[in-house]
């Protein structure tokens, strides 16, 4: 399945520790997620920067160089296993709309109904590719606009509409601005984990799982908040509850609340998915 990673540090750090320096880093994972690799961040001046390619990271030396050199306060990284839309730049995560960066892990169907809703809201022009993910982002963007820029309220409104109106297998999302990061897990299909390193004595930033290793001297003595599709060997990782929205603000204060307590009205099971979608959702894909 697609891999999500998010980091909010509150000050500029280098993203190399995540993408390239580990034996089973994001680049290595892309061998199993071959349809696109992307990195979005906000630089020290608060400007969004997105670098992505519709090929695997291990095949893309330009991506490797950019990932090694780029620095920011907030990062969203994604490796894609396509379920909707061909391997193309327009279909590669993360996406940028209204100065916000977004990535998604999961499957949303009923795209005709979603497209009709986007037309009703006047945001079809935001969708440049073919993916369910970019459509979900456009719905969120429209809802944020309706709530005068309140991202949390827009996320909740958009996801509640999806939960009530279209078939959903999973909608795990990361959404970032220069100062804030939001994560949402829905429903309980795929895992999404939080690591809170904002307290004192967080020590060396060295994380390891069966497939990911990460370390960064930049964060050894600095607070940060991390989200990942897979827990690493740090006992402080916390699995988000199904339907839980997590917000990390500019001061790295974390708020958590369940905003979608009920499963989707039209919840998809694995047996409902196409062969390609089923293959893409395998935890070791």
C-alpha of 70 from chain center: 18
pLDDT tens string 126-172: 999 888 999 999 999 999 999 999 999 999 999 999 999 999 999 99
Most confident of 67-71, 87-91, 164-168, 210-214: 164-168
Of residues 80 and 131, more confidence is placed in 131
pLDDT mean over 185-203: 88
Domain annotation covers residue 9: yes
Domain annotation covers residue 101: yes
The parent domain of residue 120 ranges over 3-280
pLDDT at 56 over 70: no
20 close to 90: Cβ distance less than 8 angstroms = no
Q: What is the pTM of this model?
A: 0.83
Residue whose tokens read 């370390």: 215
Domain annotation covers residue 37: yes
- Count of structural domains within the chain: 1
Bridge-based pairing of strands 168-176 and 237-239 is unpaired
**pLDDT confidence of 78, banded at 50, 70, 90?**
low
pLDDT tens string 22-47: 344 444 444 444 445 677 889 888 99
Domain annotation covers residue 46: yes
Number of Cα atoms under 13 Å in the Cβ half of residue 70: 28
Domain annotation covers residue 213: yes
Domain annotation covers residue 260: yes
CATH number of the domain that 49 lies in? 3.60.20.10
pLDDT of residue 34: 41
Domain annotation covers residue 285: no
Shortest CA distance to 180 belongs to which of 9, 51, 45? 9
The span from the CA of 274 to the CA of 280, in Å, is 10
């Amino acid at each position: 399945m697609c891999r999500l990673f998010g980091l909010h540090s509150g000050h500029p750090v280098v993203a190399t520790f995540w993408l390239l320096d580990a034996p089973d880093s994001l680049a290595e994972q892309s061998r199993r997620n071959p349809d696109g690799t992307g990195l979005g961040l906000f630089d020290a001046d608060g400007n969004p920067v997105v670098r992505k390619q519709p090929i695997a990271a291990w095949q893309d030396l330009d991506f490797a160089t950019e990932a090694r050199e780029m620095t920011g306060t907030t990062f969203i990284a994604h490796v894609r296993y396509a379920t909707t839309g061909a391997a193309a730049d327009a279909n590669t995560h993360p996406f940028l709309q209204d100065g916000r960066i977004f990535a998604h892990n999961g499957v949303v169907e009923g795209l005709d109904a979603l497209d009709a809703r986007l037309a009703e809201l006047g945001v079809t022009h935001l969708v440049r590719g073919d993916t369910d993910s970019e459509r979900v982002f456009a719905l969120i963007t429209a809802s944020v606009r309706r709530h005068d820029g309140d991202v949390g309220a827009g996320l909740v409104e958009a996801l509640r509409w999806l939960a009530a109106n279209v078939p959903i297998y999973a909608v795990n999302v990361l959404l970032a601005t220069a100062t804030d990061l939001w994560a949402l897990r829905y429903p309980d299909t795929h895992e999404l984990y939080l690591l809170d390193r904002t307290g004192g004595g967080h020590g060396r930033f060295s994380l390891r799982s069966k497939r990911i290793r990460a370390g960064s001297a930049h964060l050894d003595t600095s607070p940060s908040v991390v989200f990942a599709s897979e827990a690493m060997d740090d006992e402080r990782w916390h699995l988000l509850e199904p339907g839980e929205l997590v917000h990390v603000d500019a001061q790295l204060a974390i708020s958590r609340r369940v905003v979608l307590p009920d499963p989707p009205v039209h919840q998809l099971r694995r047996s409902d998915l196409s062969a390609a979608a089923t293959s893409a959702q395998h935890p070791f894909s």
